[in-house]
Amino acid sequence: MASELEPEVQAIDRSLLECSAEETAAKWLQATDLTSEVYQHLAYYVPKIYCRGPNPVPQKEDALVQRILLGPMEWYLCGEDPAFGFAKLEQANKPSHLCGRVFKVGEPTYSCRDCAVDPTCVLCMECFLASVHRDHRYRMTTSGGGGFCDCGDTEAWKVGPHCQKHGPNPSEMEEEEDPLVHLSEDMIARTYNIFAIMFRYAVEILTWEKESELPADLEMAEKRDTYYCMLFNDEVHTYEQVIFTLQKAVNCTQKEAISFATTVDRDGRRSVRYGDFQYCEQAKSVIVRNTSRQTKPLKVQVMHSSIVAHQNFGLKLLSWLGSIIGYSDGLRRILCQVGLQEGPDGENCSLVDRLMLNDSQLWKGARSVYHQLFMSSLLMDLKYKKLFAIRFAKNYERLQSDYVTDDHDREFSVADLSVQIFTVPSLARMLITEENLMTVIMTTFMGHLRPRDAQGRLQFERYTALQAFKFRRVQSLILDLKYVLISKPTEWSEELRQKFLEGFDAFLELLRCMQGMDPITRQVGQHIEMEPEWEAAFTLQMKLTHVISMMQDWCALDEKVLIEAYKRCLAVLAQCHSGFTDSEQPVTLSICGHSVETIRYCVSQEKVSIHLPVSRLLAGLHVLLSKSEAAHKCPELLPLSELSPPMLIEHPLRCFVLCAQVHAGMWRRNGFSLVNQIYYYHNVKCRREMFDKDVVMLQTGVSMMDPNHFLMIMLSRFELYQIFSTPEYGKRFSSETAHKDVVHQNNTLIEEMLYLIIMLVGERFNRGVGQVSATDEIRREIIHQLSIRPMAHSELVKSLPEDENKETGMESVIETVAHFRKPGLTGRGMYELKPECAKEFNLYFYHFSRAEQSKAEEAQRKLKRQNREDTALPPPVLPPFCPLFASLVNILQCDVMLCIMGTILQWAVEHNGYAWSESMLQRVLHLIGMALQEEKQHLENVAEEHVVTFTFSQKISRPGDAPNNSPSILAMLETLQNAPYLELHKDMIRWILKTFNTIKKIRERSSTSPVAETEGSILEEYLRDKDKAERKRKAEIARLRREKIMAQMSEMQRHFIDENRELFQQTLELDASTSTASESSPMVSDLVLTALGPAQTRVPEQRQFVTCILCQEEQEVKVESRAMVLAAFVQRSTVLSKDRRKCVQDPEKYDPLFMHPDLSCGTHTGSCGHVMHAHCWQRYFDSVQAKEQRRQQRLRLHTSYDVENGEFLCPLCERLSNTVIPLLLPPRKIFNSRLNFSDQPDLTEWVRTISQQTTALQGLRKEESSPHPASSENPENKEKVRLPEGFRPDFHPKNPYSKSIKEMLRTFGTATYKVGLKVHPNEEDPRVPIVCWGSCAYTIQSLERVLSDEDKPLFGPLPCRLDDCLRSLTRFAAAHWTVSSLSVVQGHFCKLFTSLVPGDSPGELPCILDVDMFHLLVGLVLSFPALQCQDFSGISLGTGDLHIFHLVTMAHIIQILLTSCTEENGMDQEEPPGEEESAALSLYNTLREHTGSALKETPSGWHLCRSIRAGIMPFLKCSALFFHYLNGVPSPPEVQVTGTSHFEHLCNYLCLPSNLIRLFEENSEIMNSLIKSWCHHKEVKRFLAGERDAISYPREPNRLLDLPQDYSNLINQASNFSCPKSGGDKSRAPTLCLVCGALLCSQSYCCQTELDGEDVGACTAHTDSCGCGVGVFLRVRECQVLFLAGKTKGCFYAPPYLDDYGETDQGLRRGNPLHLCAERFQKIQKLWQQHSVTEEIGHAQEANQTLVGIDWQHL
């Protein structure tokens, strides 16, 4: 279709190009009616440029628009060439000091916790780095898009409002000047004209609602009737639904549908079909039909193409205006003026108003364009910002209502601009006084809250789905109210007072609607049928929490306001309670001669609500009054006279009773909704304005009442009045054993009631209640949190309430109460309570949950035991109450209280007769303790002549009155302290008695009245004796404990030796074997150990016994016995790769024989080292397979391993495995144990013999494959191939291995082949042995790399599993030829050999620059037996090994000389050239000869030697490991420790001269010709001519990406990254590959690609090429490491970034600055280098099953 249109478009272009911007502008300048002139121009051209086909062509459109439409405007505006005009404007401009940078999605933003006026004040990264705040406590977040940098806004920052760049010029500090003075009159007039016309045009066309008709002045004569079917975005339908529908409706591919859907989601609309009206209408009806089933249909319009064209240009125009005003503040001001100018129709018709009011009608893309324009114009101009704010406030109700009914997210609504306006303190204040903003917001909000009940209370359970939806959206208004209140006034005008109180009234009205909402009734008999809706009410409460607090803060600032607010609040409360006492029968309660009247009310039978915001607000205001000056100076001014204490306490008390009853299990049938409500009532998010305020309200009420009255009312509400008012009631009660439940219930209720009394008297850490400072409250909060256990910073923050600025105030006090313990390699930093703070611990701290309380109790007792103190946890000393609350303490010593205490103690004394509980007693003891502490405080602080009226100690010494004559409380305590059943409370009782005596002494000292002294001293003496006895007892216990520990220690030691017997034995065995070694060859005991060659150290046979982990049977590893195997995991790897772009195109045809030195893709084998019988494993694996098949049928669950791919978990350690390696003896010994080198050929001779043999073999091979099969039978033909002496190609050796071992050799070989080449298994494939050798070589190389990287010795103590794995792998690879076709292995050997020793017919073999020498060595050595076994001339395997090794070593040296000696490293040589140096020099010169001097000028011999040694070291180390495992010769002790270079030891071990050049000298005869032939390879020549690259040695180690110290650098980098596929769109989940540094657009439709026929996300696709299936990523937005393996496996891992408190921040929720932790990064790097990523994923998935269910391939 596109091609058909092509010529037409071309033709139009030509006609358009004739239009000149300059001429058009000139015409306009002459015009009398500029508007119609411009409109004609637009009417003609716009439809010619835009919308010429089904798809937009942005580049072409933009070019044409600039030339034909915008160009003339720019010429007109400047009156000259805009290139000069704009430059001049820019020069003349005096920019304002605002940064105003509009944030992109994901861009980092910074806020200063010390200086920002509120948390919405943020800086862009650039400004932040240049500001003073970078050294303050800052917070970092990522922007959700929208919003701008507040740098330069003096109202946003308390200190340092400007960064260095936006700092004010000191020379021009004068008043705000009009920016228009910098522009000429003409310019102003022209700008005004053109802005007015264009702005109006844009607004008109964007808000145009007709679908096929243009505004009259834009209609054109000739009209092509083409239409678009325009699909609009909504937030109801999912991506998948839209994609599916589109495929059906417009018949497009899935790819196209995805692209349409992506654009619709991003821009808000996209045309999905282009053509005549009918054609579009048809698509529309299909879409509507398909999407209307469950929800409202997708919005689709059929629009005339010219309308779409004008709308597209309208948007372009708005962006253009935004960029033009960037040149000059003057232009910006003109635009603002144009925008806010009242139109001819009066109110609400300025262009800005029209846009705002049409906001919800516009599509997403249009909205964001004009919002951006508003931000860069109106909000950047201080004068117009104010005018705009007023317009915004005037339209507020309408805008918010539009938003509530619209379905787009708030960030796409103009209503969201409120944050930009309301958070400016001066604007907010102005809007409150002039526009009555608070009231406006409140009434708008209230207007959306329906329905309500008869009393006008909210009823959320009656909400329909639509109302609930609206309710969710309308909540953002609360946020607006919060913005308005966030900065508090410093001075009050009469107007402000009045308007604030008006707003306060509106707010009270909301609270009144909430007071008593969602009431509940206890269910008896049966469960409730449906869980009632409770979340909505709590959401509202939670959102309001900060607003309520801020309302109080505002009131606190002005006494007049406070008193007025108090009165109004009280009035509303009274209104809520009207009818409170009516219709109720009053009842009279009396105990101990006190009596009170109250209403009859039972929480367990009548309605009760947990929502009491009005009384709670009143409680808050009451505390403020108590804190105010008026309370001290003239309390009579306070409006307290109208208070009715019983009314105040009634509802909060019911709340407490409700909680107690729920806890006692009485409300079980009410379901979870109630449990949740109770939970949130106490939760840190709500409690400040719920639970806490209820405590205060009760305290307020009680402080104004007779405490006896209060206690009686409380007993009655708790439904416990009977128990305590009737003597002997308890006894009768307990005898009713049938009611166990009731007994338990009542016990719990009593406990809860006592707890409440403790809280009422004890909770004074609230300014206004107690005499405390502002930090005391938070300090106490922290002490109690840390009493539970040490906590990380974030845990602590979570447990503390945050204020509206998200501050807890913790930083100011944490140092005084806690020590910080740094984090280790895992875990996080912890705060620990300072020991001296323990005495402030209150067991009944009111914010403890029950679980926390018991944990804290246990922890504190344990601590005391550790410090060898008694374990009593007495109440702490408390600060005194404020005067208004002072009478509260009397509750402790009032008669009813003493009666309650006495009753419970009595129960405990006669412990069998009553139903009582220990916690009940514990609480009573605590209360007694509190009373004694109180009295002691009073006595100590009492001023002269004052009488202490608090006489608790005297009251408890008095026995009870007749008739029961109960003993005194003191006496009962004395009795109880010896009670054997109260062991746990003994220390506490003793503490009470001690304190009692102290008080008595103080009283005696101060008073003249003699008290019975003897009694006291007797008691004291008695106590002293008891103390002594106790100490003795404790000492004895301690001794016993010590003895027990000693015994345990020695037991553990014995156990350890048992456990590690194997280890101890191994060392013994090794010692023994060294001494028994004999024969002529050197022994192990000799200091010089040699791994190969004539001097190879003879190692005596070591019998190896292993135990199968499955059947526990022990077996010896032998050639002929059943196979034993190790669980193993084979994986492809690019960890060592030097070229990640390389990838195998066609694995079926790929020839892996020669490994390229870039090691671009290797095969790694790992193992956990656990041994099994082959048959045991087979059985195990079969059962896993069967189980898995059953499971998959049953529940389509995934596992962490893929059975179909042969994966399983090691049955012992659960490590992921995919095959097994057989355990073998050193294979060399089986075939040829002869080590006598006396008659062996030297290298030259050997090479000659082998060449002959290989030539003969190749000849034979050719014959076999010749077209005359019969000829091979013919002995005469054989004669043609001259067979070297003693060579018998027809000989086939017998395979020595048992059947089961052979089978395992094949199994592992095939598995390695399958994984390594990513092909289907094929046992017969000739590449199987190659891949096995390759895996052996690669695994050794990667181990060498890891060891060197960590500076560890080559043969240092390796983990057992690594050692076992390498040994088995090497021996397996060496034995594998026995199960392969002999001729295939021989063929490989011939090819490998020929690459070094070219034969007569050099095929296409790689040059020595393109061969990894270690892989070559391993291949040659391991394939050699296949040739040698047919050689009967007497050449031994050992000889071959040695010569092959020497040959490869020399080739490697030449490789190094050719590639790696070119640069002088500047170091001067230290000594005169020695033998080695001159030899190296002459070798180099030989090389130069052969290469025709293409090599560089000779460096110094010293430099050459250094280069060779450095370059060859990794090869030597790998070779040492290889021969060590192959031949089983122990490693030389020198190489087992770290230290200086082990070059010489390695040479000795490997049978090399330490002057390596001597190898060449010794074999000069053959080497000269070999070097010559190597150098003459055409690739070598190309390299020397600079036509290609080659790897140089030593290869640089591969590490993960270097990460920046500061995490925000990464965020910034990622925010600049846009999706590579969807045209400059920001990526939502930018993800960094830590291996190669690529940034990817992860987890998104746009970047899905196809991999093996499946759609996968960018990370999985990248992993396939970059890491051969293993990926290590950092998800930048989430600050989370991602491990991927294959398509199905993955896990998240802790990021290497920590905040100052030693914690990671996964998800970036906390926003503390994050810095790189090198150790943790090192750990991730190690996982990668050691090929343990897949294993780590396996473990993570086993530990957390939810990880298995994630679709990792979509990331």
Residues that bind Zn ion (CB under 5 A): 99, 101, 112, 114-115, 124, 127, 133, 136, 149, 151, 163, 165-166, 1108, 1110-1111, 1168, 1170, 1173, 1176, 1210, 1212-1213, 1215, 1619, 1621, 1633, 1635-1636, 1638, 1641, 1644, 1646-1647, 1666
132, containing H or E segment: none
Nearer of residues 250 and 1168 to Zn ion, judged by Cβ: 1168
CA distance 1429 to 1435: 10
Minimum CB separation from Zn ion for residue 418, in Å?
A: 22
Report, in Å, the least distance between residue 255 CB and Zn ion. Answer: 14
Where does 664-739 have alpha helices with state H?
A: 672-682, 691-703, 707-717, 721-725, 729-735
* Least CB distance to Zn ion at residue 162 (A): 7
Nearer to Zn ion by C-beta: 248 or 1175?
1175
- Beta partners for 108? 142
Residue pair 948/938 in contact (Cβ under 8 Å)? The answer is yes
Element (H, E) at 1311: helix 1299-1317
Distance (Å, whole) CA 546 – CA 540? 11
Cβ of residue 1110: shortest distance to Zn ion, in angstroms?
5
Task: Considering the complex, state which of residue 926 and residue 1215 has its C-beta at the smaller distance from Zn ion.
Answer: 1215
Which residues lie below 8 Å from residue 133, measured CB to CB, with a gap of 6+?
A: 110, 112, 114, 115, 123, 160
Q: Which is nearer to Zn ion, 151 or 712 (CB)?
A: 151
Nearer to Zn ion, 380 or 1210 (CB): 1210
Give the shortest CB-942-to-Zn ion separation in angstroms.
48
**Which residue type is seen at 483?**
Y
For the bound state, the minimum distance from the C-beta of residue 1492 to Zn ion, rounded and expressed in Å, comes to: 41
To Zn ion, the closest distance from the beta carbon of 1125 in angstroms equals 10
In the complex, minimum distance from the CB of residue 321 to Zn ion, in angstroms, rounded to a whole number: 22
The distance of closest approach from Cβ of residue 1135 to Zn ion in the complex, given in angstroms and rounded to an integer, is 12
Backbone angles phi, psi at 1211, to 5 degrees: -60, -20
Q: How far is the CB of 920 from Zn ion (least distance, A)?
A: 53
Strand partners, 229: 273, 302
Tokens of 1009: 């009245």
User: Which residues contact residue 910 at a Cβ distance below 8 angstroms, ignoring those fewer than 6 apart?
Assistant: none
Q: Residue 1070: in which H helix or E strand, if any?
A: helix 1061-1076
Helix, strand, coil percentages (3-state) for the chain, rounded to 5, are 55, 10, 35
The string of DSSP letters for 70-104 reads IHHHHHHHHSS-HHHHHHHHHHH----S---PBPP
Residue 752, classed as helix, strand or coil, is helix
Q: Please give the structure tokens belonging to residue 1647.
A: 């970047």
Which residue number, 538 or 1208, has a Cβ lying nearer to Zn ion?
1208
Greatest C-alpha distance within the chain: 140
The residue among 1093, 1070, 1069 whose CA lies nearest residue 1081 is 1093
* Residue 1361: CB minimum distance to Zn ion, A: 8
Q: Where are the beta strands (DSSP E) in 444-556?
A: none
- CB-based contacts of 471: which residues, under 8 Å, 6+ apart? 448, 449, 460, 463, 536
Q: Could you tell me where the DSSP H helices lie in 1132-1271?
A: 1174-1194, 1227-1231, 1243-1264
Q: Check if the beta carbon of residue 911 is closer than 8 Å to that of residue 981.
A: yes
* CB of 1212 vs Zn ion, minimal distance in Å: 5
Chain length of the chain? 1755
Q: Which residues pair with 612 in a beta bridge?
A: none
- By beta-carbon proximity to Zn ion, the closer residue of 404 and 1666 is 1666
Amino acid at position 1072, single letter = A
> What's the closest the beta carbon of residue 1248 comes to Zn ion, in angstroms?
48
Cβ 955 vs Cβ 898: under 8 Å: yes
The residue among 918 and 1139 lying less far from Zn ion, judged by its C-beta, is 1139
CA 1227 to chain centre: 51
Closest distance between Zn ion and the C-beta of residue 1527, in Å? 27
Residue 1508 three-state SS: helix
- Distance between CA atoms of 321 and 1017, rounded to whole angstroms? 95
Give whichever of 730 and 1738 is closer to Zn ion, judged by the CB atom. 1738
For Zn ion, which is the closer residue by CB, 1125 or 1385?
A: 1125
Nearest-angstrom CA–CA distance, 1412 and 1035: 73
The rounded distance, in Å, linking the Cα atoms of 798 and 1698 is 18
C-beta of 1130 vs 1210, nearer to Zn ion = 1210
Minimal distance in Å, beta carbon 1623 to Zn ion? Answer: 10
Please identify, using beta-carbon distances, which residue of 149 and 1407 lies nearer to Zn ion: 149
Residue 1209 C-beta: closest distance to Zn ion, Å: 8
Q: Which is nearer to Zn ion, 128 or 422 (CB)?
A: 128
Nearer to Zn ion, 936 or 1170 (CB): 1170
Of the two residues 957 and 1178, which places its CB atom closer to Zn ion in the complex? 1178
Structure tokens at 111: 């806020």
- What whole-number distance in Å separates Cα of residue 1449 and Cα of residue 1563? 13
CB 24 within 8 A of CB 73: no
By C-beta, is 106 or 620 nearer to Zn ion? 106
Nearer to Zn ion among residue 136 and residue 200 (C-beta): 136
Instruction: State the minimum distance, in angstroms, from the CB of residue 1139 to Zn ion.
Output: 13
Q: How far is the CB of 169 from Zn ion (least distance, A)?
A: 14
Q: Under 8 Å CB-to-CB from 780, ≥6 apart: which residues?
A: 765, 840, 845
Asked if 1289 contacts 1256 with a C-beta cutoff of 8 angstroms, the reply is: yes
How many other β-carbons are positioned within 10 Å of the β-carbon of residue 1071?
9
With respect to Zn ion, which residue has the nearer C-beta, 1140 or 1376? 1140
Here the tokens at position 938 are 């009073």
CA angle 615, 487, 1608 (to 5 degrees): 115
